[in-house]
Amino acid sequence: MVAAAASSSLQQFTSDAILVVLVIVNGALGWRTGTLRRIVSFAGLYAGVISAYYTGNFFAGLIRTGDIFANAWSFIAVTVVMVLLFEVIGRIFADRLQRLAALTFDRVAGTVIGGAAGFFQASVLFMVALAVGAAPSTPTNRVPPLRDVPANAVQAAPLSGHALRAQPVLHRIFTPAFSGDLTTHLEEGTQVTARS
pLDDT tens-digit series, residues 8-50 = 789 999 999 999 999 999 999 999 988 888 888 999 999 999 9
Model pLDDT, residue 83: 95
The CA distance from 41 to 38, in Å, is: 5
Model pLDDT, residue 20: 96
Length of the chain: 196
Which DSSP state fits 141? B
Amino acid identity, residue 176? P
Are 78 and 110 in contact, with CB atoms under 8 Å apart? no
pLDDT at position 1 over 50: no
Return all residues near 125 (Cβ < 8 A) that are at least 6 apart: 18, 76
Q: What is the pTM of this model?
A: 0.71
Average pLDDT over residues 58-83: 93
Model pLDDT, residue 7: 59
pLDDT at position 178 over 70: yes
Query: Among residues of the chain, what percentage have pLDDT more than 70?
Result: 91
The CA distance from 47 to 66, in Å, is: 25
Cβ-count burial 16-55 (b if 16+ within 10 Å, e if not): bebbeebbeebbebbbebbbbbbbbbbebbbbbbbbbbee
Model pLDDT, residue 37: 85
Residues 126-151 pLDDT 10s = 999 998 998 888 888 888 888 889 99
